[in-house]
Structure 1
Amino acid sequence: PAPTAAPPEFLLNAPGTWNLPMRTALASLPRSVWLLGLVSFFNDTAGELIYPILPLYLASVLMAGPRVLGLIEGIAEATGSLLKLASGIGADRMRRSKPWIVAGYAVAGLSRPLLALAASWPVVLVLRFADRIGKGLRSAPRDALLGASVPAHQRGLAYGLHRACDNAGSVVGPLLAAALLARQTPLDQIFWWASVGSVLAVLLTLLIKEEPAPPRPSAPRPDWRPGALPPAFRRYLVVLGVFTLGNASNMFLLLKAKDAGMADYQIPLLWAVVSLVAAVFAAPLSALSDRVGRRRLISLGWAVYALFYLLLGLAGEGWMMWALFGFYGLFMAATEGAEKALVADLLPREQLGTGFGWFHLVSGLSLLPASLLFGSLWEAWSPLAAFGSSAALALLALVLLRRWVGLPAQDGR
């Protein structure tokens, strides 16, 4: 069971400052947290090697537009999210997360290199579908394992470290993609390079040692139905759905940068800027949520998101993209770890897998209408109409989070 001792006072000078107390706190995290961070680093290096060039591949090779891009990403994410709920329930009932984690990373690793063989956008849809199946199998059990591995006052730090490693891979992957594009490597060959990081990620999952769950008394099996979850958590899911309805695929951001006149080789570098900022600030900002409260930090991040989308919709020059995308990295750093830490705060341990399954399900199912809506507004009206609608939904979600979602007594801010 998680310790109930009062949380230590970590001295965080400024976001991104790695002082001695922060290093000490990081060193105190268990081996499983660090291993999961390394797994995410190598997996995202492989995934982000592909991610920035996929819009280019669809547009220049397969001749697909924004509507098709929204369809592919929306269906892939929504389907993967259904599996996230199933795997979360399965992990709770099996009382083991590791088998789901290993299987998830293996399936995703097998699907990515096969993009090199795609001759039409429906084939890309199938392969992205397979990649999201892998993510669906691993995400909820992995997040549940992270939440169960640390006490409550370290959850922000643990999830922040995991996101920092994940985003570090998102820096390395686009840099490798940019280097390969600069050498005029054919796009289909770049997909084969992604298999290297995928193999390393799967091998590292085999080293994870999962602590046995405490004995369960003669209680009923975990109930996956929403009504069995705490009321505050159900309200949080509704608010998250509102926000995600305005959070279409990040590939639209890259498409906007290309329309602003940026060269193909600069697109991966631009995404590397986002990931670099997120990697540097993720751990300290998420750890800050352990002190100032999850709701306060998430609200700040959603406000940054709304401003970023509005400015990006108005931007028309390529040089503006560098600063704007760096700004977007701050939103990711402030919210990715804190949102998951809040999930763990709102749930008992025996419902962590199921709760994270619902968390990912709501995010993924909202992404399908979000991506279709965004792509349709872009084509029917203008990019500004699409980006402006996303900003408005983010502000609505912020108000609902502050006014409607009840939080644990230790957070309450």
Structure 2
Amino acid sequence: MNNYSQLFKRTKEAARKLIRVSEDQIGEVLARLAELLEEKTWYLLEENQKDLDRMDVDNPMYDRLALTEQRIRGIADEIRAVGQLPNPLGIRLEEKVLSNGLYLEKITVPLGVLGVIYEARPNVTLDVFSLALKSGNGLILKGGSDAEFSNRAIIQLIHQVLREFEFPEQAFLLLPPDREATKALLEAVDVVDVIIPRGSQGLIDFVRQNAKVPVIETGAGIVHTYVDESADLEKAQAILLNAKTRRPSVCNSLDCLIIHSAHLPNLEQLISPLLEAGVEIFADSVAFEVLKSHPEISLATADHFGTEFLSLRLSIKTVKILEEALDHISRYSSKHSEAVIAENQGVIDRFLLEVDAAAVYANSSTAFTDGAQFGLGAEIGISTQKLHARGPMGLRELCSYKWLIRGNGQIRG
């Protein structure tokens, strides 16, 4: 623990130097990192394969862990995009002159040192680094053992680029994937300014319950889509298929289809693309009566609602009115992403107003809940809480603010 304490203090001291770095220099570092990732794709794939070889291919986390040439190119493009975004620091949020002549200015500043704890997603290492650097924050990364080889390879390339540009590489630290490191990070009061967990609900709960450092919760998505009586079924069919099957292992994928009972005669047609894609369905008793001839459809139990499947699994809940759909979402939602498919504008307006989630959609796939898709370049996570940040977190969400007060000898009576 003492060794970690010294490491963290060095990270904090190195991070103080980042505020002096120019926007142009940061852009050059990120452009060079993106270039190096593409040059070293073969190396990253080799190291990633070592991690993949240790994981069962049927594990829902396997897809999250896997790197491909296409995914590495996509990550490189996102890093370039972050480099080209406007500087989030020094933005004047408010200014005023008091009656005594004091000039007050409120400006954006870095949070300080970020601690990020995550599971089998090596892309997080790169996304978080690019956002932390651009926003002037130091970074302590604690990846999971499932991605150990991948994360080590990535941090090696990051540090190589930082050395090339004479940046303080100690401001960006990767911890070993062991429990002692996790405990040290969660208790790093006065060194780490905020902890951000990315991963399963179990990980998020563990961090929240054990951290002595402030926490921003991200990640777990229990996602619903309500198909209203007024829905266009052709539109609904395409949206549901994309929301469930595009990448079933990610947090914005669909977990529960809520169907208005008026569509029960059309339910088989509605879900046929899902069945063709290999989706296993757990239907409530009403829907099951319509679908029971299909061997891949089972009668849902209570556990199938309020579950983040992270795989090709889906539950179905039948409702008679919008109010029942809203109640079901309120009971089971993780407040990540929720959607309605409807042509009735009154239903859409009420759903958008009343559903309590970070991202609420009308007639669209929830797969768009993503920092890059929202124009943030990349994301450090998707916050499901309400304090400080909510939804995809980009550069602005990694900033705090401070007041600058300029006077000319004023004293307070």
* Higher helix proportion (structure 1 or 2): 1
Bigger-Rg structure (1/2): 2
Q: Same fold (TM over 0.5)?
A: no
TM-score (ref. length: structure 2): 0.26
Normalized against structure 1, the TM-score is what? 0.26
